[in-house]
Amino acid sequence: MNQRIYLSPPHLNGLEIEYVQKAITSGWLAPFGEQIDLFENNLQNKLNTNKSLLVLNSGTSAIHLALKLIGVTNGDKIICQTNTYIATANPISYCGAEPIFIDSELDSWNMCPNLLEDAVIKTLKAGIKPKAIIGVHIYGMPFQADRILEIGKEYDIPIIEDAAEALGSSYKNNECGKIGDFGILSFNGNKIITTSSGGALITNTKSEKKHALHLATQAKTSSTGFSHDSIGYNYRMSNILASLGNSQLTDLDKRVSKRRKIFNNYKNELEKRTPLRFQPETTGHYSNRWLTSVLVRNEDERNQLIAYLEGDNIEARQNWTPLHTQRPYLNSPSFLNGNSLFLHQNGLCLPSGSNLSETDQDRVIDRVLQFFG
Ligand SMILES: *Cc1c(COP(=O)(O)O)cnc(C)c1O
């Protein structure tokens, strides 16, 4: 059996041990320490922003805290992209709020601005003001930020930008993560950089960051007296994991260009010779190509291709399953055009890790060619 090719495995660059050692010798085996401050500064520099940034134990907790900062509570309505990983929407439920799902347009595969505006208008007409809009840069491809921000502004609804998959992507030269009123990143094991588990919240103001930090550390009012002024969470990142983040971040630009190169290699080799169609990148959108996602002609073909690749020990996966079709959210209101279901039924992701060798890319390409042979 050939060696397994994974979809998007952690990519070590060799600096990790040295950086983690620094954190350990400092003695700060805690959710405090200089590696955390450093990681926050380094991320701000990468995003080219003086917005505030707080590192946390996951991207999911970052979304939860963004909703908390907005004041989301029981019964509130939150508008959310349906074509995404379920972690985008679950924090809405943690708050006792309810999602309203929005389908995708086919240029970026993200939230359709027309359906979004339709949803806002209809919800307002019913006497309810949505508390927030969550857009996602799926597989690293930026959403239609101009129009979505404009709608947020016009109806005075804050935008949460789920950039979990999009560190290193940009929209009209603005780095993803700093585009919305709140931005979130993830450093989960399969993301473009990893701290094994981790995330970040980007806010417009220092006082929002301060509030988020307070909530992320059990809402303590003093460090000695165990006094707490509200119900907080244990969401802060540890100093050790921040050191991993610092080592991983040193070569982010290389990781982005490697993933883009892999995408282009697949596209050049496969687009003309097979029915595969590739996720587009339209003017103004710059994707880190976190995952190369492609469409085939129907659901059977998708399943067969995934199984065929698996037969050679190659991991490919279906595109995200739209949230409005997932059991916890079957009763949620949705504004649909069929696109996200189409992208799911016909779509799959090919191995895209930034440590994927050219030999392994050739193996994937050959196997796909054989399938359509
Ligand atoms: C990975 C991911 C998240 C969640 O991040 P975690 O760090 O795993 O909690 C949220 N949204 C999207 C789109 C993701 O891909």
User: What is the tens place of the pLDDT at every residue in 248-268?
Assistant: 999 999 999 999 999 999 999
**Which structure tokens are listed for 16?**
């990790």
pLDDT of residue 273: 97
pLDDT of residue 32: 80
What is the mean predicted confidence (pLDDT) over 269-297?
98
Task: Indicate whether residue 85 lines ligand 1 (CB < 6 A).
Answer: yes
pLDDT of residue 46: 98
The Cα 59–Cα 31 span in angstroms is 16
The Cα 255–Cα 165 span in angstroms is 13
pLDDT of residue 215: 98
Task: Indicate whether residue 186 lines ligand 1 (CB < 6 A).
Answer: yes
Nearest atom in ligand 1 to the alpha carbon of residue 63 is: 10
Q: How many angstroms separate the alpha carbon of residue 309 from the centre of ligand 1?
A: 26
pLDDT of residue 30: 73
The Cα 15–Cα 19 span in angstroms is 6
Please check whether residue 220 is in contact with residue 232, taking contact to mean a CB–CB distance below 8 angstroms. Answer: yes
Q: How many angstroms separate the alpha carbon of residue 9 from the centre of ligand 1?
A: 15
The Cα 25–Cα 239 span in angstroms is 12
* Residue of minimum CA distance from atom 11 in ligand 1: 88
pLDDT of residue 224: 72
Q: How confident is the model at residue 239 (pLDDT cuts 50, 70, 90)?
A: very high
Please check whether residue 218 is in contact with residue 225, taking contact to mean a CB–CB distance below 8 angstroms. Answer: no
Instruction: Determine the angle formed by the axes of helices 358-372 and 299-310, rounding to 10 degrees.
Output: 130
Q: Starting at the edge strand that comes first in sequence, how are the strands of the sheet with 285-286 ordered? A: 174-175, 170-171, 285-286
The Cα 161–Cα 180 span in angstroms is 5
Using the predicted structure, report yes or no on whether residue 136 has a pLDDT greater than 90. yes
Lowest mean pLDDT of 26-30, 117-121, 147-151, name the range: 26-30
Q: How confident is the model at residue 132 (pLDDT cuts 50, 70, 90)?
A: very high
pLDDT of residue 28: 79
- The full set of domains in the chain, from first to last, is 16-249 (3.40.640.10), 252-372 (3.90.1150.10)
Query: What proportion of the chain, given as a percentage, has pLDDT over 70?
Result: 99
Pocket test for ligand 1, best of 88, 162, 186, 241 (most atoms within 8 A of CB): 186
Using the predicted structure, report yes or no on whether residue 68 has a pLDDT greater than 90. yes
> Which is nearest to 356 in space by CA: 319, 318, 316, 320?
316
What is the mean predicted confidence (pLDDT) over 349-353?
98
Using the predicted structure, report yes or no on whether residue 71 has a pLDDT greater than 90. yes
Query: What proportion of the chain, given as a percentage, has pLDDT over 90?
Result: 94
- What digits encode the pLDDT tens for the residues 173-225? 999 999 999 999 999 999 999 999 999 999 999 999 999 999 999 999 877 77
- What digits encode the pLDDT tens for the residues 295-321? 999 999 999 999 999 999 999 999 999
Task: Indicate whether residue 247 lines ligand 1 (CB < 6 A).
Answer: no
What is the mean predicted confidence (pLDDT) over 68-92?
98
What is the mean predicted confidence (pLDDT) over 74-94?
98
* Residue of minimum CA distance from atom 14 in ligand 1: 164
The Cα 366–Cα 373 span in angstroms is 10
Strands 347-350 and 292-295: antiparallel
Average pLDDT score over the chain: 96
